[in-house]
Copies of this chain bind each other. A is one copy, B any other.
Amino acid sequence: MLSALDLAYRIEKGDLRPSAVLEQCASAIAAREAQIGAFAALDLDAVRRRIVAEEAALVTAPLRGLPVGIKDIIDTADLPTSYGSPIYAGHRPAADAAIVSMLRRAGGIVLGKTTTSEFAFRNPAHTRNPVDPSRAPGLSSSGSAAAVAAGMVPIALGTQTGGSIIGPAAYCGVVGFKPSFKLLPTVGIKRFSWQLDTVGLFAAQVADVAFAADAISGRPLRVDGLAPAAPRIGLLRTFWDEASPAMQDAVEHAAKCAAREGAAVRDIAMPAILAEALAGHLTIMGYEAWRSLAFEHDRHRAQLSEPLRAYLDEAAAITAESYDAARRQARRAREAFATMMKEEGLDVLLTPAVPGAAPPYGVVTSALFSRLWTLLGAPALPLPAAHDADGLPLGVQIVGRFGRDRETLAAARFIETALAGR
């Protein structure tokens, strides 16, 4: 994998040029893309021309001309954007999404569009898991996680409405970062649920996603350099029976490594109000999807996948009353979560990211372990913590307090370092 931070350092020192990084990406793409299928659209020659033309300015910009993969539900004016749906085959948006413009302003280069399941829902793209191509890469930001895992890009953008960043990162063995709700804007992104859709990132390690998030957002989020203070970690075993024994071991292993390095780790139980609010996640998502995708449903129904058609038809019956009740409950749960973390003196939670290792290719993966944190708008990172007997990565999840993105990244880096030192 390509470390964004390492590449940026070498460009800064003059040891590497952005065009050379691009050729590293191009080599990995040439070697593996035919098998993996991480990209929905790619024009390497156009990117080469741009880098040559702008190289002098790029090397001094925060992202230093690093290539970035963009999930294909994020609008780009220069590349087709099909949202994973035949309805939009060849669609060229009139404008870039805000996050794409912010990326360009920071000196990032759009390398290509990465695959997404249909409208970031459950109908998978054709992408395979680079760790083992017989396995699924997870939904829905499949291409972004796979492209980073295969060394095709150092950074990729994704989105999460249920578990679409956490899942693919965990299954592909890369680091993801779902920031606090609204830290990164969703303007120009195909919407599924306006209360839940969250923009985030993929990279090789925690310091890499922090570096990229810092550069794009213009906020102080970097966690390289300094040695992070030992965090106070709550070990959360909610839905523990849904996690494989290997995943349970991985979470406990991460906890032990962190404790050995000085972190205060203790078990924590999930307050009942959080479990209750979780049911509302599906209510909110469905109510809003029925409206967000109204045009596609009403005008292009035959071109929707059967699972999405069925989902929307069911979602049409959700009442405004139950939607409002779910939103109220989510608001109370957000407050309860903040209070719990404060009263229990916790910086982050440690919990499974997904039920286990990547399932076989074609199997639709579950967002059970990530939906609650999307609903609460809390920053969350999946982190490769171990491998199973087949050599597949097992991703644990670090969850922080709303608005405490840098602290969450720092705690994740502490745990990542502790894991590496075993």
**Using an 8 Å CB-CB cutoff, how does the interface string of A219-233 with B read, 1 for contact, 0 for none?**
100000000000000
Q: Given A182-B194, A187-B194, A194-B185, A295–B218 Cβ distance below 8 Å?
A: no
What are the residues of chain B within 8 A of A292 when measuring CB–CB?
98, 185, 187
Cβ contact within 8 Å between B187 and A218: no
Q: How many copies of this chain does the complex contain?
A: 2
* Segment among A31-39, A99-107, A150-158, A362-370 that sits at the interface with chain B: A99-107
Cβ contact within 8 Å between B101 and A288: no
- When C-beta atoms are compared, the residue in chain B nearest to A97 turns out to be B295
Q: Does A20 touch B at the CB level, under 8 Å?
A: no
Cβ contact within 8 Å between A101 and B291: yes
- Tell me which of A88, A104, A295 has the highest count of chain B C-beta atoms within 10 A of its own C-beta: A295
Cβ contact within 8 Å between A185 and B291: yes
What are the residues of chain B within 8 A of A104 when measuring CB–CB?
298
Q: Does A191 touch B at the CB level, under 8 Å?
A: yes
Cβ contact within 8 Å between A288 and B185: yes
Q: Give 7 CB contacts A-B under 8 Å.
A: A93-B94, A95-B295, A98-B191, A101-B294, A102-B294, A185-B288, A218-B320
- Beyond contacts A98-B191, A98-B291: 20 other A-B pairs, Cβ-Cβ < 8 A, are A77-B299, A88-B94, A93-B94, A95-B295, A98-B292, A98-B295, A101-B291, A101-B294, A101-B295, A101-B298, A102-B291, A105-B294, A105-B298, A182-B195, A185-B292, A186-B194, A187-B191, A217-B320, A218-B320, A219-B320
Interface residues of A (CB under 8 A from B): 77, 88, 91, 93-96, 98, 100-102, 104-105, 182, 185-188, 191, 194-195, 217-219, 288, 291-292, 294-296, 298-299, 320, 324, 403
